[in-house]
Chains A and B, each alone.
Chain A
Amino acid sequence: MAAVLLCAAAVAACSGKSTTGAAGPGGAAGGASATPGPQNSATPKPGGSFTMLEETGLTGAWPTGLDPATDGNGSANQSYLNAIYGNLFELGANGQTINDLATGYTITQDGKTVTIHLRQGVTFSDGTPFNAAAVAFNFKRDLASTVGDKPNWPVSSISTSGNYDVVIHLTQAYAPIINTFHDSNVNWIASPTALQKMGENAFKLAPVGAGPFTVVSDTVSSELVLKKNPHYWAKGQPYLDSLTFKSVASDEAALETMQAGGVDGYEGMQTPQLVSAFGKQFNVLDVPSTSPYVIQLNTAIAPFNNLNAREAVYYATDVNLIDQRLFGDLHPVTQGFTAPNGLFYEKSVPGYRTYDLAKAKAAVKAAGGVTVDLMATQSSVTQTVLEALQTMWQAAGMKVNIHVNQLANVIQQFQGNKWQASLQTAGAFDPAAGLGVNFRFGSKSVFSGVHDPKLDTMFANATSTLDNAKRGQLYNQAAEYISQNAYAPFLFPVNGWNIAAKNVSGPGLTTLLPASAVRPEILWAQVGFTGQ
């Protein structure tokens, strides 16, 4: 199904004339296979003040401010950035690329030149013009930045053509280029004049963009107050007069705060046990992730430089049981780095080793015994999953030590390359974009446990293939190759939930959009109160 849908998008991409509002390369998202919760798509009424909660540990932290070129937490901060800057492109329902501040794009036949067409007559909220020079300035600044969410474009230069066309010159064809806008900092355009006038430090606390809202006050990682941008380009939008983001310590605290009143939404709830409690009073939108959990195995050192040891892990892991017992069977079990709500989803990988305790015990014996240190980054999900894995693997005869660490410590472990096994997430909406498959499986990534030139070539071919149907096939082959070599067993993408008051409506908040990076975008210009 994915291949058929991809063909339509591929025709547009390869024709050299992608038109306004047409499906871009993202046209194949498996939205149909996702399980959306209750949706409220009523048109909001103008007016009202909206308060949104964000969890302190992820989306509710913006310690480096809100300048796209310096925000080290940019993927997690996309709600704020979307509200202040708008987007060049949005990721719409079913994975369609929707124009926002851009009106379309053109890719040449050889795939090496990409032209972004900009909306005319738009101004930043400081009154300066939104034009090609401003966008090119931002692209160059973003690409030169040190933040992790800048795109991996093989860029040779960036230029402008007239006032409203920005031209990206690439050294080679790069198929996911438009999809990279959805989860990287180039999608958010800052006012160069304001940046110059205010200086970087002041700008990151009171940024100026051309989005639906402007900054009123910013208490870093605590509270961000925005008000309606009166000069916003879309007539009648945003619906809301003001929008306030507040950080909250946990899902439980968010539930109590919403029940106490005065708060209208909560982004990215992660606790399955609280879904019904939220559902009694609020709309709960099931938000499928596009990044499945994977048990990375370090194939460079013992024990997982031995195929038998890796096979033992595959056979000893009962993914379905973990999903049932810990998550109420809420998450779709996967066998590769794609997920139902992302591109190129493949439910079953041919030859994938599933749970078989007898085979696991035999593999452990063949490996001469397996002793493993299994680590993960601390979160409510990883702690329980690690304990379940420890029990299962010990039943197969392995000796297992588990370590739940802070992110900084996990990074150190990867950099030292002494780690043995690690529970992490892999993939993205487009496998080549954002924290894509290369991040966990590419030879050059320090966060990879696999160092296989053949796999690198497969990924490189998939990235440079403009025909999306062929791209899909190449990624499926890569998933099969990972499975054959037992490089890393996959579990499932862990869904999140967006919570909203019953009288709230908005794309991404009450109607499902695909997760682009960490979470789906919430299109704040279209969020508002329905008066129900």
Chain B
Amino acid sequence: MTVQSTNRTDNLAAAADPEAAVSVPPPGTPQAPPPAGLLRFPLLRSSRFRLAVRRLLTAIPVVWGVTFLGFTVLNLLPGDAAQALLGADATPQEVAKLSHQLHLDQPFFTRYWNWLTSALSGHLGNSLGSGQQVTAILVQRLPVTFELLLYAFIVSLLIAIPVATFAARKPGGIFDSITTFIALVGLSVAPYILALLLILFFAVDLSLFPALGWTPISGGLGSNLRSLTLPALSLGFPIGCFYTRLLRADVLEQLDEDYVVTAHAKGLPGWRVLLRHATPNSMFGLITVVALNAGTFLGGTVIVEQIFGLPGIGEELFQAIQTRDSPVLEGIVVVFAVLVVVIGLLADLLYAALDPRIRYDNPGQ
């Protein structure tokens, strides 16, 4: 890996993307000969495209690894799917019969291989319990989780960016002190505690939002957003507090940079320096943390969906673990792994979009 920059933000970018080389091309680099074949297309020649391809190729062993790990962990847990599905009152004979029906009596590697080959042909299998196709379960439940994640992410950014920016404007001031305290409280409170408090205040006392359930968009956008507001706050607020602390520190650091002093010297108003220059340049750290934090964010849906009774993928994951439903668990693991990889890739692409100086090259080239 080559990092041709001493800028802190570039270091953070590199931390989020150990694969990528961030470089500023030296002047006078000779022109390469005209490309041939598929490389005639500009898109295919772009460093971003090549980065995406490299990332997606890297994702293959990652996704395989997490599916194998998931299968192994589920196999190590006490009890098996047949017992979990039949309950405590089933006889050993009944459990053995169902185990045979579900092929759970086959060796571990045989079962994993069967699942893997089936998954590679596009069939993620059927739930051991309900018999539903795993893809059908994902199609049914993923929209809820995606919507929750998006809403929570927006909430976290809506908290973090303005609060951090204005807190950094006068460090140690009243606004900074109050928001620092709130951010620390937000970081300390577990999402499930926050969820119960939000329900008590906004659902029970004020009757502003429902305490349970999800209304699809077909039931009206307003109702849909109302049903997701408290879950999104429960998930987004603690993470928003984390982002606030991080972004505030980055903005403060940027305000000490030479270009800020120059901007002030040129007579630019303080608010403009803050909003147009310091804050945008502080975003690299936030993007990095968002990418690194994607797994935690996804994991949070498991608890939040349980509390608010949202029929999303987190709730399904919880049930799949309880019933040792390996095909469902594996399907969800694949989705989560791909999501984390894609979010990381998006973060890399965003670096380049925010800073045109950044170019992703293969260090070997």
A262 touches B204 (CB 8 A): no
| Interface: B98 (CB within 8 A) | yes
User: In the complex, what's the smallest C-beta–C-beta distance from B67 to chain A, in angstroms?
Assistant: 21
Task: Given A146-B90, A257-B211, decide whether A406 and B319 contact each other with a Cβ distance below 8 A.
Answer: no
Q: How far is the CB of A407 from chain B (nearest CB, A)?
A: 6
With A63-B85, A147-B86, A249-B306 already in contact, the answer to whether A201 and B92 are too (CB < 8 A) is no
Is B84 part of the binding interface, using a Cβ–Cβ cutoff of 8 Å? yes
Quick check: A201 and B210 within 8 Å, CB to CB?
Answer: no
In B307-332, which residues have CB < 8 Å from any A CB? Answer: 307, 309, 311, 315, 319, 322-325
Tell which of B25-33, B50-58, B128-136, B269-277 binds the partner.
B128-136
User: A263 and B90 in contact (CB under 8 A), knowing A205-B132, A222-B309?
Assistant: no
Bound complex: CA A446 to CA B204 (Å): 47
Tell me whether B306 and A56 are in contact (CB under 8 A).
yes
Residues of B within 8 A of A204 (CB): 130-131
Residue among B80, B92, B126, B204 having the largest count of chain A Cβ atoms under 10 Å: B204
CB-CB < 8 A to B309: which residues of A?
A: 222-223, 246-249
**B20 CB-CB contact with A under 8 Å:** no
In the complex, what residues of A have CB within 8 A of residue B92's CB? 415, 446
Set of chain B residues within 8 Å of A22, measured between Cβ atoms: none
* Residues of A with C-beta under 8 A to B260: none
Q: Mark each residue of chain B from 133 to 158: 1 if its CB lies under 8 Å from any CB of chain A, else 0.
A: 00001001100000000000000000
Q: Contact: A408 with B196, CB < 8 Å? A: no
Query: In whole angstroms, what is the CA distance A262 to B306 when docked?
Result: 19
Which of B88, B95, B196, B306 gathers the greatest number of chain A CB atoms within 10 Å? B88
Q: How many residues of A contact B (CB 8 A)?
A: 48
- Known contacts A148-B87, A248-B212, A408-B83; decide if A61 and B196 are in contact (CB<8 Å): no
Distance A53 CA – B196 CA, assembled complex (angstroms): 17
B325 A408 Cβ-Cβ under 8 A: no
Tell me whether B47 is interfacial, beta carbon within 8 Å: no
A256-B200, A260-B211, A439-B89 known; A406+B78 contact, CB < 8 A: yes
Whether A148 contacts B131 in the complex (CB less than 8 A), given A406-B78, A409-B79, comes out as no
Q: Which residues of A contact B91 (CB under 8 A)?
A: 148, 446
Q: Are A64 and B90 in contact (CB under 8 A)?
A: no
- Contact indicator A260/B207 (Cβ below 8 Å): yes
Cβ of B78 to closest chain A Cβ, rounded Å = 4
Contact (Cβ within 8 A) A246 B213 = yes
Partner of A200, one of B129, B131, B322, B325: B131
Q: Is the CB of B311 within 8 A of A147?
A: no
Q: With the chains together, A443 CA to B307 CA distance in Å? A: 42
CA distance A392 to B324 in the complex (A): 37
Q: Can you identify 8 A-B contacts, CB atoms within 8 angstroms?
A: A149-B89, A256-B200, A256-B204, A257-B211, A260-B210, A263-B212, A377-B88, A407-B84
Name B's A-contacting residues (CB within 8 A): 77-80, 83-92, 94-95, 97-98, 101, 126-127, 129-132, 137, 140-141, 196, 199-200, 203-204, 207, 210-213, 306-307, 309, 311, 315, 319, 322-325
Binding site for B on A (CB under 8 A): 53, 56, 61, 63-65, 72-73, 146-149, 200-201, 204-205, 219-223, 246-249, 252-253, 256-257, 259-263, 377, 406-412, 415, 434-435, 439, 446-447
